[in-house]
Chain A
Amino acid sequence: MKYFTLEKNKDNIAVITIDCPEGKVNKVSSGFLDEVAAIIEDIKNDKSVAGMVILSAKEDNFVVGADIDEVKDMKNAEEAVTYISKGHAILNELEKMKIPVIACIQGNCLGGGLELALACNYRMAVDSPQTVLGFPEVQLGLLPAAGGTQRLPALIGLTTALPMMLTAQTLRARKAKRAGLIDELIPPYGLKQTGIKKAIELAKNGLPARKRQRSFVNFLLESNPLGRKIVFAQARKKVTRQTYGCYPAPYAIIDAVECGYVKGREAGLKKEIELFGKLVVSPQSKSLTNLFLSMSDLKKNPQKNMARRVGKLAVVGAGLMGQGIAAGSTSVCDTILMKDVNLDAAAAGMKEIWKSLEKRTKAGAMLHFDRDIQYNKLVACDDYALFGNTDLVIEAVFEELEIKKRVLADVEAAAGERTVFASNTSAIPIKNIAAGCQRPQNVIGMHYFSPVPRMPLLEIITTDQTADWVTATALDLGIAQGKTCIVVKDGPGFYTTRILAPLLNETILLLEEGAIPNEIDRAMRRFGYPVGPATLIDEVGIDVGAHVYEQLGPMFSKRGITASQGLTKLLGQGYKGKKNKKGIYNYALKKKKGQKMPDENVYDILGDSPRREFDEELIQQRISLMMINEALICLEEGIISCPRDGDVGAVFGLGFPPFQGGPFRYIDNTGAAKVLATMESLEKQYGQRFRPARILADFVQSGKKIYSDR
């Protein structure tokens, strides 16, 4: 066998060890399933076998899910249905086994792995923060399709199971025990012996009865059809509220679970198979899967051998950004200097980091001593005295060129030849910061997104002078911090800010023409953005937006695009957005029906056009195509090196609809010719800013897709 070893010991316990030969993790695949089937057959025919133990030979995972490449390559629904039906048949057989079947779980047990475990009749998991169970399928636009939608609710209850599948929320060992997902916590090491001992015991005494503990409310909701109906209705409502119906997978999950409750297990399983077939070939799932694969690609540093380890890191500026960067580095670096103008400012930053460490400790994600070790790595300072020997300095000070230049000069004076200087700026060209410095080859941009702990993207910006080892080092640090990193070329706004600017500009222009902010936001939410652009302007800050315009304005006007002066005008009237409660929306007024109320004075400032209705599709086209076209121009100019980076940057940095896969994938999905036609008609109507990128016409002419993978 390729994926398994089967041994039967003298106590008549069959031990099945999963050990996929391809890599460090176990994945479910067709070959994998065939072998499981053979093993089950073997054991069923061997009457002497009294119990079965399933465990993994890998150090940090049981089974991490299905082999995505295999799923991705499925051409049609039938192929998917055949594949998953086989899985169903096997797991049903496993579930029906009369002898004790024990899953011994250590490390990640996700997706298909958890479904395998659910089909066993006893589950044990190693008591460690590294043991994690969950269903990430929804993130790939799929549903748990090997019986997960049926077996999970049956085991842990509807109200716990639904959120787990809908949000891909994972459970650590202890929480999983509390939820009833696993039966027993076990100590690490010697899993095989532990499993055998348990199997012998269960074979002798029979399986223990499970008693689910649930609250009275959950009992009321779960135990009868009426209560469940409420749960399903609420779940659908919530999904619609959060996704504006852009994603089919969550609805499919709810449908499958509901079908199981209403029509029984067998019908539920059938429904699951049917829905899987549909979802696998859906464009949403394809896009999400491709994004996931791009992200996995970007977790590897191609220049690893040139990277230098960052043992001593310094963060200049302990504000929100600086804190976030430092917080993400406590598990990576040895020493982190927190420099601010005074020690109390640095200490205030450390307080926030402590809070997040404390939270993770309480959640069971880390041990208290590790929390202390990580906190102790932070050293508050108010000068550059300790900057000698720093490997990398990230400045996160106020977004002003002169201040950043001064910080760079101070750092160069205090630190050494080998110290990398990274600027966390969102728009100021790195070469302007590096101009006139001593070691421009050590200067790079590391553009983090706020809030740093939650935003997955890091945009690394290299100038013509940046040394290769410096890029490799920054990339290595970013990857170690858990970020998805794209490396882009220097220029005004780099990639992300640059493609965001035209989108915001178009939003302001629409407002100037008389659109209502709520309608713009709603249109874009329906398009798939997680936040509407008017809300985004308020949240990012009108002052920040105006600053970005300042940086990027000249570049756009060279192309004959005049930017709206709207943001500057608003800023002039004291509008800064949510931070000072004066934005496009009026934060003093109460929400009506969950809708923010626009600030009517903004209309006056923006030219006093009468408010009118706009066609939703027109709003969507105008706003989204501004970003998409700018992304194309960035590719043309070589700001980004490939469409993949452009897609990842737009989705993870700016919230471009993930189910569209990014601006480039969107063009592939929609058809380049169609996009070009829309652009051309918009250009006629609205002028030069909609002039399509040359590269788009090239794609249309060649008849090729941007991505050659499908």
Chain B
Amino acid sequence: MDASARKRVAVIDACRTPFMRSGTAYYDLMAWKLGSYAVKGLIARTGIDHALVDYVIMGTVMADVATTNVAREIMLGAGLPGSIPAHTCTAACVSANIAITTAYDMICNGQAEAVIAGGTEFMSDPAIKIGKRYRRFILDYTMFRRPKTFVEKLRLIKGMKLRDFFAVEQPAIGEYSTGLIMGQNADRLARRLGISRREQDEFAARSHRLAVAAIRNGKMRKEIVPVVVPGTGKAITEDNGPRPDATLEKMEKIKPAFEKKYGTVTAGNSSFLTDGASAVLLMSEEKARDTGLKPLAYIRSYAQSGSDPWEELLLGPAFATARALQKAKLKFSDIEVFEIHEAFAAQILANIRYMESEEWGKSRLGLGGKMGVVDLEKINTRGGSLSLGHPFGATGGRLIASCCSRLREENARYGLVAGCGAGAVGNAIILENAQ
């Protein structure tokens, strides 16, 4: 369908909790609680009447078994009435992006007029499974076999070693299909595209520098809702990821994290485990007008992409942006504000390589030639996931918040939010300034 014929969908507001390194300030919380703080903050900021909200969608990746439909606990916990349906979506690191674009679709289709979408991630308490052998034993003992006699019981333990009772399975951030963990794939990509260690370290240092500056000059405050962890009596107002001392010199000293010998991807130029949540209020243009809520931006188009998990695992932004631009009938040069997820410095540099390449543009992205020339001055000027952190399910909401805020401040017309996710999926959203 032609974009102009559809309903216009407005972003009324977007906000997030401060992003905190896992194991720090949010230590005793849960994913749904973080999500509730973001949603509650959004409601307080916009002043929207509960009765106007039609639906809630939240993204998350490492779901807690206790709250599998975490979106539901989040909205109930934020005091929204039970009559509003909610679902959780998961698509790795673009979970929140997809929550937002699903909300967009719902509004376009007339399924809803106002949707809260975003995401949450809590890595301070990830689920650790007990070892498979022991797990099987417990399941067989209590549910599937239920041995009656002593001999039968003994048979279940047969072959088990002592360490089977202690071994645990760490959750891996890896590809099931390729068996590579993501950092290894980033190394592979960097080598394939000739991205140097220095380039990566420079980009990571830049991310920290810009994030620290954005916090210092108060720009970050606009998108953050302070969190008061119950019982602490202290307000958390800032991200604790960005480090003023993350200079190039320091970056260079860090040893490779994944491919110890020949790799270039380090803990310094990768995003780190983070807790945080984000929430975005989307509304049809008419509804926003009726209720007197002023949109920040309109969603002009969006696209999802899939690519090859071996060679193009982290290239979602390039693939999805190509399509989103086509749908919006815009040129790459029309975009003035870029907010692209930074999983690894190597990953974002690789995406830029793809965007600027005649060859990849033609052969892989389905374009006539190169997508365009990337101006670094327009990308992630308030830092990115490398410095602010990356709560998997929530990052998309942060990107929207940041993009909307930058569109206003830079008086720009079009902005792009893009991300990549495990399984080689990508998502790109083009926003148009509402002013």
Contacts and interface: CB of A to CB of B under 8 A. Distances in A.
Interface in A369-399: 369, 372-373, 375-381, 386, 388-390
Given A343-B235, A344-B235, A347-B235, A375 B230 contact: yes
A337 B44 contact: yes
Interface stretch (A56-64, A221-229, A349-357): A349-357
A347 B49 contact: no
B190 to A, nearest CB: 42
A376 B44 contact: no
A335 B228 CA distance: 15
Contacts of A369: 76-77
A374 to B, nearest CB: 8
A198 B77 CA distance: 38
Interface stretch (B32-40, B118-126, B208-216, B419-427): B32-40
A312 interface: yes
Given A334-B79, A377-B79, A380-B228, A344 B41 contact: no
A348 interface: yes
Contacts of A386: 44-45, 47
A10 B223 CA distance: 68
B44 A379 contact: yes
Contacts of A390: 47
A42 B234 CA distance: 67
B77 A373 contact: yes
A311 interface: yes
A191 interface: no
Given A376-B77, A386-B45, A389-B47, A347 B232 contact: yes
A101 interface: no
Contact of A380 (B43, B50, B77, B235): B235
Contacts of B77: 369, 372-373, 376
A343 B237 contact: yes
A303 to B, nearest CB: 23
Nearest to B45: A386
A377 B50 CA distance: 13
A218 B256 CA distance: 69
A388 B230 CA distance: 26
B179 interface: no
A388 B47 contact: yes
Contacts of A346: 228, 235
Contacts of A375: 230
Nearest to A385: B45
Contact of B33 (A344, A372, A388): A372
Interface string A53-93: 00000000000000000000000000000000000000000
A376 B78 contact: yes
A334 B49 CA distance: 9
B123 to A, nearest CB: 21
B226 interface: yes
A311 B234 CA distance: 26
Interface string B222-243: 0001101011111101000000
A350 B234 CA distance: 9
Contacts of B230: 350, 354, 358, 372, 375
A351 B40 contact: no
B231 to A, nearest CB: 5
A311 to B, nearest CB: 7
B232 A351 contact: yes
Contacts of B41: 379
Nearest to B41: A379
Given A347-B228, A388-B47, A389-B47, A376 B40 contact: yes
A375 B230 CA distance: 8
Given A335-B43, A376-B40, A350 B228 contact: yes
Contacts of A376: 33, 36-37, 40, 77-79
Contact of B234 (A337, A347, A381): A347
Contacts of B44: 312, 335, 337, 379, 386
Contacts of A344: 233-235
A346 B232 CA distance: 12
Contact of A377 (B40, B47, B233, B234): B40
B40 to A, nearest CB: 5
Interface string A460-499: 0000000000000000000000000000000000000000
Nearest to B231: A354
A350 B33 CA distance: 16
Contacts of B45: 386
A363 B298 CA distance: 49
Nearest to B222: A385
A373 B74 CA distance: 10
A582 B232 CA distance: 32
A384 to B, nearest CB: 12
Most chain-A Cβ atoms within 10 A of its Cβ — which of B40, B41, B230, B231? B230
A412 to B, nearest CB: 17
Interface string B247-291: 000000000000000000000000000000000000000000000
A351 B233 contact: yes
Interface in B75-114: 76-79
Nearest to A355: B231
Interface in B13-67: 33, 36-37, 40-41, 43-45, 47, 49-50
Contacts of A372: 33, 36, 77, 230
Interface string B332-358: 000000000000000000000000000
B114 to A, nearest CB: 15
B49 A311 contact: yes
A386 B33 CA distance: 21
Nearest to B74: A376
A480 to B, nearest CB: 16
A121 B345 CA distance: 76
Contact of A358 (B228, B231, B232, B233): B231
Contacts of B43: 334-335
A343 B226 CA distance: 8
Nearest to B234: A347
A373 B76 contact: yes
Interface in A322-372: 334-335, 337, 343-344, 346-348, 350-351, 354-355, 358, 369, 372
Contact of A350 (B36, B76, B233, B237): B233
Nearest to A345: B235
Contacts of B50: 311, 334
B233 A347 contact: yes
Nearest to A379: B44
Contacts of B36: 372, 376
A335 B46 CA distance: 12
A373 B80 CA distance: 9
A372 B47 CA distance: 21
Contacts of B37: 376
A602 to B, nearest CB: 36
A306 to B, nearest CB: 20
Which 10 A-B pairs rank lowest in CB-CB distance, beginning with the nearest?
A: A389-B47, A351-B233, A343-B235, A347-B235, A347-B228, A379-B44, A348-B233, A354-B230, A350-B228, A376-B36
Interface of A: 311-312, 334-335, 337, 343-344, 346-348, 350-351, 354-355, 358, 369, 372-373, 375-381, 386, 388-390
30 contacts: A311-B50, A312-B44, A335-B43, A344-B235, A346-B235, A347-B232, A348-B233, A350-B228, A350-B233, A351-B228, A351-B232, A351-B233, A354-B231, A355-B231, A358-B231, A373-B76, A373-B79, A376-B33, A376-B36, A376-B37, A376-B40, A376-B77, A376-B78, A376-B79, A377-B79, A378-B228, A380-B226, A386-B44, A386-B47, A390-B47
Interface of B: 33, 36-37, 40-41, 43-45, 47, 49-50, 76-79, 225-226, 228, 230-235, 237
Given A335-B44, A380-B226, 20 more contacts: A312-B44, A312-B47, A334-B43, A335-B79, A337-B44, A343-B237, A347-B226, A347-B234, A351-B231, A351-B233, A354-B230, A358-B231, A369-B77, A373-B78, A375-B230, A376-B37, A376-B40, A376-B77, A379-B44, A390-B47
